[in-house]
A and B are shown apart, each in its own frame.
Chain A
């Protein structure tokens, strides 16, 4: 008599093509992808609240320079990504001014300089025959071909990013609303902003390793944008974004894996599948949000319109 789990496996056979659960690279991909999805989601919610999507996207592009420099130097791409992004985040914070416009200018300046470097290193990588495919790896990620030690590095850096975010949570929320409001509370706004940029730099580096520099913005902003439509609370937004992110990465990985069988040898790029799912989730969230009423004027028991004050005259 077949065990229940065997029965489940059998019934899901058309979904999970042979070898999906026993494949080493798939295990690594699911683990790394899951961590990256959570980190990107949490950092992404704050990125959206703070209106720093441009910084997030720029760090991804800057990561291209770091990744290609690492390939050129013969070290693991993740080190190049993290090093370049952290330094870039530091420079952005140093030259950044407190207004969002000033932040954007600072971001743009650092971005421009880095893209020049990226062009240089990618050119070097391309003409040196020993590193064919480096460009593709840096730009589109390599979730199925991650080096064995990558899971640990990703887990550690991901934990650092999340811990930083948890530590700064409340001051970060307040200073995202208004510089003056936070400063009036005695919050060191620039220090908090710098801490956030560091968390952002790590998150972007991690997602650039997994799904590539070009698409990492989608994983950072997409799930957060979905969450913003579906919930009104910051903590819930992080939870929803994490769920959307993990769902997209895991299902995307599965589809990419299965597609090898469906397409007879050819396969869909895994990054394409993941980002496609994020986009589908975004479209769906628009429909769901429209169906959910904003309970703006719903009265709570005892709520009054007028002020609770004695009449003076």
Chain B
């Protein structure tokens, strides 16, 4: 699946630094939080234009890994390299949850505009060019309909789209999304995944998207970074999502079952009993 995605992907724009297209590199990174090792010896790299799923169950360390990339968590060992100058408009981030007060005087479009210039000092005046960029972005994520509404009054899924627009409008090279599908229904989830895959290819952005279920991402993922038991494996979906690789990661026998275009990972040798726990 990775190979035909490669064929359809446009080559990098002429003049772009072609020597290295790596937007993120983790080298043997370990993270401890509150005295506990949450991530151990994670190595991983991401190229511009790649769509990578960050998969793991609750508490596996997905949020921690994304915050690590942003420099909001410091590694106990190892190095994190982003050749984009670290935090700033070159890295877009959609946090897992942000709680917005319902009555806050801030429209959806104001939040998107802050993605453009929120880091600048002064009140700033936004000209027609900026307004057009905000409109275009709202349109692209399907949020134009509620652009004028108070952002705190929007539903979880609507806020999710506004947040994606906020992250994308500064034209980042790396986009980190923490469980963006959690608040969306299946159809909306598919739409967002397709949109992101489209953007990754078109604008040559590296995307790292976390989810506890890999299935909605299967059609678009170029790569997967799978977290379990504090450790990680990465590679193409076919390499990673196999009985051998995941059994080694979990440190016990797990079974990968492919059925009806879905992937199910179950514990133990008794594959017929998916309720068997780990």
Contact = CB atoms under 8 A, between A and B. Distances in A.
Interface of A: 45, 49, 51, 166-171, 173-174, 177-178, 180-187, 227-229, 231-237, 294-300, 302-309, 312
B121 A304 contact: no
Contacts of A294: 149-150, 153
**What secondary structure prevails in chain B residues at the interface with A?**
loop
B226 interface: no
A178 B98 contact: yes
Contacts of A184: 70, 72, 87, 91-93, 95, 176
Contact of B198 (A227, A232, A298, A309): A309
26 contacts: A166-B123, A167-B122, A169-B124, A170-B117, A170-B118, A171-B118, A181-B93, A181-B166, A183-B87, A184-B87, A228-B104, A232-B106, A232-B149, A232-B150, A233-B106, A234-B106, A295-B149, A296-B146, A296-B153, A300-B144, A302-B144, A304-B144, A304-B145, A305-B145, A307-B195, A309-B198
The listed residue with most A CB atoms (<10 A of its CB), out of B100, B141, B149, is B149
B89 interface: yes
A165 to B, nearest CB: 9
Interface stretch (B107-115, B206-214, B245-253, B263-271): B107-115
Contacts of A300: 144, 147-148
B140 interface: yes
B119 interface: yes
Given A186-B88, A228-B105, 7 more contacts: A184-B176, A186-B119, A228-B103, A229-B103, A295-B148, A297-B146, A305-B145
Interface of B: 67, 70, 72, 86-89, 91-93, 95, 98, 100-101, 103-107, 110-111, 114, 117-124, 139-142, 144-150, 153, 166, 176, 191, 194-195, 198
A312 B5 CA distance: 12
A297 B145 contact: yes
Nearest to A174: B118
A295 B144 CA distance: 13
Contacts of B114: 170, 173-174, 177
Contact of A183 (B72, B92, B104, B148): B72
Contacts of A302: 139, 144
A173 to B, nearest CB: 6
A169 to B, nearest CB: 4
A145 to B, nearest CB: 36
Contacts of A167: 121-122
Nearest to B70: A184
Nearest to B195: A307
Nearest to B95: A180
Given A295-B148, A300-B144, A300-B148, A49 B106 contact: yes
Nearest to A166: B123
B141 A307 contact: yes
A180 B198 contact: no
Given A174-B114, A182-B118, A300-B147, A49 B104 contact: yes
Given A294-B153, A296-B149, A236 B105 contact: yes
Nearest to B150: A232
Contacts of B166: 181
Given A177-B98, A184-B72, A308 B105 contact: no
Contacts of A177: 98, 100, 106, 111, 114
A101 to B, nearest CB: 12
A53 to B, nearest CB: 12
Contacts of A178: 95, 98
A311 B86 CA distance: 35
Contacts of A296: 146, 148-149, 153
Contacts of B92: 184
A99 to B, nearest CB: 11
Contact of B70 (A45, A183, A231, A235): A183
A300 B191 CA distance: 22
B123 A227 contact: no
Nearest to A237: B105
A309 B142 CA distance: 10
Given A184-B91, A186-B88, A296-B153, A304 B139 contact: yes
B106 A173 contact: yes
A303 B139 contact: yes
A181 B98 contact: yes
Contacts of A168: 121
